[in-house]
Amino acid sequence: MVSVGILLFPEFQMLNLSTTTVFEFANLEMPQPFYRVDLVSEKGGLVKSSMGFAIDTVPFGLRPYDTLLVAGDNDVLEASPGMLAYLQQAMLKSRRVTSACTGSFHLAAAGLLEGRKATTHWYHARAFRQAYPNVRLEEDRIFTVDGPLWTSAGMTACLDLALALVENDLGVEVAREVARKLVIYHRRAGGQSQFSALLEIDPKSDRVQTALAYARQHLQEELSVEQLAEVAHLSPRQFSRLFRSETGQTPAKAIERLRIEAARLMLESGDHAIDIIARETGFGDPERMRRAFLRAFGQPPQMMRRALQLQA
């Protein structure tokens, strides 16, 4: 059985406890429970959360953990000397040491992230860079993996991190089934931007949200207004008018942003040829994708790829 310790401290962010449900549902997929999850703290007992109520914990020195997950908080609180010493010991005893949200500040304070890549909540990225200049902060990532150290971005990104841990242990099918039962998308790739195009488009009604979700899952298709209107159960004229009133842009422009986001992710996370990326994301041909990248980023995909290679 894989032991998971979730390290809490006063004023920890409550959303981080949602990771326990990912491990719970992974257990339900197996013939026998695969994970044992403990909530741990420096002294054990009740630990006050960011919402004001307390959660019961056990002292963190009782047993070692295969996987340790450090919670984050809302205000980047300073870790105690005892907590930093425990993290340094955990690095020697645990297979994986992970953090959610601003928990990466505690890993960095313990010296675990020196020279390594990490991420954190975008809101605190500048403060992280100033405090820990030797950490290779990738502030536009959902989560990062650098050997035994895993870090996630803020808030719901902890779910992506937990699903990635399950996938690492039990395979992609188990992780996908857990995501389905939690009624969330199968985990976002670690390299995906924290700033989703869907969040920026910000549709209000269920009909427009449904059409955009369908579009993101079918980017290889033509995705005409008529096709999206049918998904939204509206006439093309009604759909176009509703879409523009909710998002301030045309359906065609929004679909292009979704395609650019998908193409950029493929560009950053693999060695796919440009023409394959263009085909897989629905641009059809490299020239059409090049023009879209110039509008969005001011540079073509090839130049972005070279910059990424030089950075690596």
Q: Which of 18, 22, 15 is nearest to 166 (CA)?
A: 22
Alpha carbon 221 to its chain centroid, in Å, reads: 26
28/26 Cα distance (integer angstroms): 5
Catalytic residue of the set 101, 159, 175, 292 = 101
Instruction: Tell me the residue type at 172.
Output: V
**Runs of H (alpha helix) within 182-300:** 197-201, 206-217, 225-232, 236-247, 251-269, 274-280, 286-297
- Is 158 part of the annotated catalytic residue set? no
Radius of gyration, alpha carbons of the chain:
21
Q: Which of 51, 59, 52 is nearest to 8 (CA)?
A: 59
Give the residue numbers marked as catalytic: 101
